[in-house]
Structure 1
Amino acid sequence: MSKEGRYASPPCMAGDVDPTYFDPLGVDPAQARDVARWRGAERRRLASFRERLGQTERAQASSSICGHLATVLALRGALRGTVLAGYWPVRCEPDLRPLLHDLHDQGVRIALPAVETRAAPLVFRRWTPGTRLERGHWSIPVPPPEAETLTPDIALAPCLGWDRGGFRLGWGGGYFDRTLAALSPRPLTIGIALGAARLPTIYPQPHDIPLDLVVTETGLSVERKDIS
């Protein structure tokens, strides 16, 4: 450790020193490159792990997550009229569509994220079980442009990886963090993840915004203490 009290090793080596270390300023270009390379390797590893799970195991995990998430949402006041931003599962992500159907039937207004402008915040278009979806950015199914645009009270975020601070490792596009930074008031954010995808840290950078909660197949795994 340097005399200024910071670790002398860059993040690519920090795991050998202290697995919870990160520089919250993250302004050093070499450190940022190291973090980017490390995250790329972790994305590949975690995506491969998820793909190797059998359909039965993925379905069981999705069902368990839906059950735990339903309880969390009920406790957090997801009532009739609440706007909840979900997601359409791709790349072996946990499938929450049965729960989205149930919530819709209960009067919760469901929205799905869409990219209308590259490198800009997401928009959230209303979804119902009868909505005709079309292929959006990265061929992800999204409601059509004429669908009503909503502002979420609660936003769900699929996680490739996550850490105990509530920081999320996504696919690297930065859309979710960019969107949260633009929303005021900020919605309650809930990460959806597999328990085995927990990391000691993602080495958060200045643009990373922590999730409020993380729900896995084992239950509520992260709850930040500074939220009501």
Structure 2
Amino acid sequence: MHSEDRSDDDIPGDDPCYQHLIIAGHAIDPATARDVSRFRKAERARLYALRNAGTAEDRAQLSDAIATELDRELTDLAGRIIAAYWPIRSEPDLRDWMTRAHEARARIVLPVVVEKNAPLIFRTWAPRCAMERGIWNIPVPSDGAEATPDIVISPLLGVDEAGYRLGNGGGYYDRTLAAMETPPLIVGIGAPDCRIKTIYPMPWDVPMTMTVLGDGNTQHYPASA
């Protein structure tokens, strides 16, 4: 669910074992895994080109529309631990919203990759806090205390009709969410044209609880609640 998914590897697993790949404890047909990975890679390229085609003004308006809708959907923020993200590659920019949530006494945390193919950790962020370059040169809090979020806000390249997210392919968020004892509220945000019919979800994919898109459309997914 975040910009730290930076590779194009949709198979976050081990070496093939007989006729199957054993991935995160699931036996997966290797031909199916390969076909799904190729489909997702092509969809990422298409959707990224669409997202990147807009102007800076278009992206600012989209970010403002998403922030307005988040204000409607996420109320009583005091005491909540909210995982957001630092925007890169034309992702919606919620840094102003993060500041407002911080001022409303929410605790904002940002994801940090500490080990390849391992769950993320989340460090506390505040306006003007010390930042450093993390993996893929994405800024992360340099010394913020770790915390487990109860709300996770994640940028979408794509989202399908069942609420499954197409991210950048590293699988870090799915790994992280699967490892959490208490499932958080998962909010995907993105452009209106990020909707697709299906991502062909695999057993390790984790659906969104809700999505908020730049046209003001919010959708909840009861199956994932």
Q: TM-score, normalised by structure 1?
A: 0.84
Tell me, what secondary structure is at the counterpart of 1:199?
coil
Q: Which runs of 4+ in 1 moved over 4 A?
A: none
Contact 1:213 1:220 in 2 (8 A): no
Shift of 1:26: 8.2
Q: Matches of 2:133 and 2:93 in 1, distance apart?
A: 18
1:19 counterpart residue number: none
TM alignment of 1:1-228, pairs within 5 A: 27-74=28-75, 78-144=76-142, 146-226=143-223
Contact 2:207 2:224 in 1 (8 A): no
Q: Sequence identity, in percent? A: 46
Q: Matches of 1:147 and 1:184 in 2, distance apart?
A: 22
1:20 counterpart residue number: none
Shift of 1:219: 2.8
**Deviation string for 1:117-137 (max 9, x for gaps)?**
111000000000021211111
Shift of 1:226: 4.2
Task: Indicate the RMSD between aligned Cα atoms, in angstroms.
Answer: 1.4
Instruction: Figure out how many residues of one structure are paired with residues of the other and give that number.
Output: 200
Contact 1:160 1:170 in 2 (8 A): yes
For the pair shown, the structure with the greater C-alpha radius of gyration is: 1
**Deviation string for 1:171-210 (max 9, x for gaps)?**
1000000000011101110001111010011110111010
Contact 1:111 1:127 in 2 (8 A): yes
Q: Matches of 1:227 and 1:42 in 2, distance apart?
A: 23
Contact 2:208 2:224 in 1 (8 A): no
Shift of 1:225: 1.6
**Deviation string for 1:146-173 (max 9, x for gaps)?**
3100110100111111112110000100
Shift of 1:227: 6.0
Tell me, what secondary structure is at the counterpart of 2:74?
helix
Contact 1:161 1:199 in 2 (8 A): yes
Unaligned runs of 5+ in 2: 1-25
Q: TM-score, normalised by structure 2?
A: 0.85
Does 1 or 2 have the higher relative contact order (CA < 8 Å, sep 6+)? 2
